[in-house]
């Protein structure tokens, strides 16, 4: 893992966006895994600036990480709506090339494997963008998720529903279930960019990066990923034992080793 500690979310987002733009310039048909929530917003803002400056995202494909079960697609807080509003429109992507799990599928048991098959048919995810929950979840893979799980229905923890209540009128309106890419699905991505900002994420980041590999902290599975880059601000990095080494290693990154 490469761990980049920065002073602001904006500074880190600019570094990550530059790397993504480089890849899009090289391969206009790149496949991005798209996270929702507050964390990736600075990154999407940077990518939107790049789009305005001429980077062409029209051939890029996108796969959202997750969706609530039972929520109407046009509900403003469905991830289908959020991705449309926060990613597709600002980056001028083509809506038909951006996929979100179908939380209203008639056969939810089938919707997960179908989504994995769709990802595979697109050639697999080149760069998966991720946040992390306070409880260590990535996607909606809550503690106890199999480290090799595939896209499937999961029950949200109370902690996650309370954390996401800010997007709804009350916690009771937050759906109880979701369809989420599995940890195995996420691990299939060629590259992973995980972002965490703020002290509320410090414990999850310490557990994920330096704790034991464990289903109790689903983010810890990234320790097994051959090409994961972790972008954390000082507050989210506060619990890291080896922070000085990570800073040193990034400061001495060989010139030929691009992000
Ligand atoms: P957040 O959510 O970016 O809104 O903090 C992250 C997550 O729960 O995975």
Each residue of 202-230: pLDDT tens digit?
999 999 999 999 999 999 999 999 999 99
CB-ligand 1 contact for 139 (6 Å cutoff): no
Whether residue 156 has its Cβ less than 6 Å from ligand 1 = no
Determine the pLDDT at residue 163.
Answer: 95
> Which has the closest alpha carbon to 11: 232, 204, 248?
232
Cα of 254 to ligand 1 centre, how many Å? Answer: 32
Q: Does ligand 1 lie within 6 Å of residue 218's CB atom?
A: no
> How far, in Å, is the centroid of ligand 1 from the Cα of 138?
8
Q: Specify the pairing of strand 152-155 against strand 177-180.
A: antiparallel
**Could you identify the atom of ligand 1 that is nearest to the CA of residue 39?**
3
Question: For the residues 109-131, what does the mean pLDDT come to?
Answer: 98
Give the pLDDT of residue 108. 97
pLDDT at 170: 97
Q: What is the dihedral of CA 182, 187, 191, 197, to 10 degrees?
A: 60
For range 121-125, the mean pLDDT: 98
How much is the average pLDDT of 118-134? 98
Which tokens is 232 given?
């954390």
**What confidence tier does 201 reach under pLDDT thresholds 50, 70, 90?**
very high
Closest CA to 61 of 90, 87, 22: 87
Residue 239 near ligand 1, beta carbon < 6 Å: no
| Phi, psi torsion values for 248, nearest 5 degrees | -60, -45
Q: Is 133 in the pocket of ligand 1 (CB under 6 A)?
A: yes
pLDDT in tens, 37-56: 999 999 999 999 999 999 99
Q: Does residue 130 line the site of ligand 1, with CB under 6 A? A: no
Distance CA 200, CA 195 (A): 13
Q: Is the CB of 182 under 6 A from ligand 1?
A: no
Look up residue 256 and give its two tokens: 């030929």
* Closest ligand 1 atom, residue 200 Cα: 5
pLDDT digits (tens, 9 = 90+) for 46-96: 999 999 999 999 999 999 999 999 999 999 999 999 999 999 999 999 999
Read off the pTM.
0.97
Residue partners of 257: CB distance under 8 A and separation at least 6: none
pLDDT at position 134 is: 96
């Amino acid at each position: 893992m490469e761990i980049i500690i920065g002073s602001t979310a904006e500074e880190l987002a600019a570094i990550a966006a530059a790397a993504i733009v480089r890849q899009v310039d090289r391969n206009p048909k790149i496949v991005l895994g798209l996270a929702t929530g507050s964390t990736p917003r600075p990154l999407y803002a940077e990518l939107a600036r790049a789009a305005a400056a001429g980077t062409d995202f029209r051939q890029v494909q996108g796969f959202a990480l997750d969706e609530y079960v039972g929520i109407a697609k046009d509900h403003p807080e469905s991830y289908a709506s959020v991705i449309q509003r926060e990613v597709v429109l600002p980056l001028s992507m083509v809506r038909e090339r951006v996929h979100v799990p179908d939380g209203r599928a008639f056969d939810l048991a089938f919707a997960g494997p179908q989504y994995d098959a769709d990802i595979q048919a697109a050639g697999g995810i080149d760069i998966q963008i991720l946040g992390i929950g306070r409880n260590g979840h990535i996607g909606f893979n809550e503690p106890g998720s199999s480290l090799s799980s595939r896209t499937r229905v999961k029950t949200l923890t109370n902690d996650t529903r309370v954390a996401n209540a800010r997007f709804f009128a009350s916690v009771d309106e937050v759906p109880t279930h979701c369809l989420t890419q599995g940890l195995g699905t996420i691990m299939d991505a060629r590259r992973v960019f995980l972002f965490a900002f703020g002290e509320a994420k410090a414990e999850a980041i310490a557990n994920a990066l330096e704790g034991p590999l464990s289903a109790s902290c689903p983010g810890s599975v990234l320790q097994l990923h051959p090409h994961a880059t972790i972008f954390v601000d000082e507050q989210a990095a506060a619990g890291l034992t080896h922070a000085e080494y990570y800073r040193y290693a990034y400061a001495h990154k060989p010139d030929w080793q691009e992000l």
